[in-house]
A and B are shown apart, each in its own frame.
Chain A
Amino acid sequence: MTEVTFTVNGRQQTIDAPPMKRLLDVLREDLHLTGAKEGCGEGECGSCSVLMNGELVNSCLIPILQADGATITTIEGLSPEATAPLHPIQQCFLEHGGAQCGICTPGMILATHHLLQKHPHPTLAQIQEGLAGNLCRCTGYMRIFEAVQRAANAEPFVPAT
């Protein structure tokens, strides 16, 4: 067991875990943050996406020791709770039918957040590339792309901390 300290959604956490335990499992089992989902478990589907130090990552591929000292944002921490229940990206997914069964949705929204940080006004090709690592088996993607386009135009865009 190794002691690991990191910040999740603005709160510092210290846990004891085997160093190769996956960040995804620590989030879900130790911290009870079940927004990140396990889809494929091999970095192909993006359901477990979180932001680590501001970068989009697959939490199923990160040994928890490598998250020591990191700042993590999960879907639970994306919205500034005090001012709004949903982040504007979440609101756009809701309004445009960008979610059906919901398994891919947290990852899609975090990938969208990462995309809009880098490209505030993305082209369709940039949206497609930005979300290419996130698989959806329900919507066929068009509504997701529409939601992202709307989120890109929604003002103001609130970056996660």
Chain B
Amino acid sequence: MRSNVADYSLVAPPTLPEALRLLASDPGLTPIAGGTELMVALSAGRLPQKNLLSINHLRELRFIDVHPETITIGSGATFTDIRCHEAIAEDLPLLTQAASWTGSIANQNRGTLGGNIVNASPAADTPPALLAYGATLTLMSASGTRTMPYSMFHLGYKKTALAPDELLYSATVPRNWSGYRSYIRKVGTRNAQAISKVAIAALAKIEGGAIADIRIGAASLRETPARCTATEQALIHRPITPSTLPNLILAARKALATEVQPIDDIRSSAKYRAAVAANLVEEFVRSLV
């Protein structure tokens, strides 16, 4: 049953400060950027939020700044902006890859990094890469700005640390990953336009024949996007050679099983997700030898 659009309001303040002021005076306002999530809900007659705040046109939010140690991506940057950005492709290839397989070209032209994060879908495409890279978020309200590690942003299913009067301003991602090997894979119904059943983005550094650092971000394995910390702990500092590989894989699979809590839904089953996630982690570990 379609919604009656006359029941909805939408305002488009000209500047970011004005948008923040409106949010402060009416925390019931729901920000809408590219509309690739909320407009779907509207068409399906299941958008409960009636009063919306358009932030799509705010130039202050649409930027990508390259600094010596980090790249800061404005929440209004689209997937197209991200996948076409040369420094991101060079330094943060997991993010380029994730952006390039999010939805279709038309969705990438509209969908934003901020929406992908704030919408808080456990299956979202960029979070595994942002988690692996250790991104930091900057949140903004009329009364100030605060930053937090992205890993602390998701509090529960579709629950985040974003206050009702705050907007996500940007994500800042460390860019020096020289010496790291990276891995990313999304498993969905088809390559394009499919929401993931399971996705993993991972980085590891091998020093002196051992795993010196390892960072595994995952989607659709818990109620939020999450790092696989138990699996990381099972692997870090372990020697990695062809002869240790079988034991490492066993340890990784065992640890992963303790921390994944996938669900059955229309896209896949919990059993399938857990099995495929273990296969992906194995593929990643094998790639490190």
Contacts and interface: CB of A to CB of B under 8 A. Distances in A.
A133 interface: yes
A111 B106 contact: yes
Interface residues of B, number: 31
A61 B110 contact: yes
Contact of A66 (B44, B54, B193): B54
Interface secondary structure of A, over-half rule: mixed
A129 interface: yes
Contacts of A114: 105
A61 B35 contact: yes
Interface in A1-53: 2, 18-22, 25, 41-44, 46, 49
Contacts of B8: 18-20
B106 A65 contact: no
Contact of A63 (B35, B44, B103, B193): B35
Contacts of A55: 80, 109
A62 B36 CA distance: 8
A57 B52 CA distance: 21
A88 interface: no
B10 A20 contact: yes
A22 B34 CA distance: 13
A99 interface: no
A83 to B, nearest CB: 28
B110 A58 contact: yes
Contacts of A60: 39, 43
Nearest to B32: A63
Contact-residue bracket for chain A? 20 to 34
A68 B5 contact: no
Contacts, number: 94
Contact of B9 (A19, A49, A58): A19
Contact of B6 (A18, A65, A66, A134): A18
B56 A66 contact: yes
B105 A129 contact: yes
B104 interface: yes
B192 interface: yes
Contacts of B54: 63, 65-66
Interface in A119-150: 129-130, 132-134
B103 to A, nearest CB: 7
A104 interface: no
Given A18-B5, A65-B10, A43 B105 contact: no
A130 to B, nearest CB: 6
Nearest to A20: B8
Interface in B210-226: none
Given A22-B42, A56-B105, 12 more contacts: A22-B39, A25-B5, A42-B40, A43-B103, A43-B104, A43-B107, A49-B106, A56-B106, A61-B36, A61-B39, A66-B35, A132-B191
Interface of A: 2, 18-22, 25, 41-44, 46, 49, 55-58, 60-63, 65-66, 68, 111, 114-115, 129-130, 132-134
18 contacts: A2-B10, A19-B10, A20-B10, A22-B42, A22-B43, A41-B40, A41-B43, A49-B106, A57-B106, A60-B39, A61-B36, A63-B39, A114-B105, A115-B105, A129-B192, A130-B105, A133-B105, A133-B193
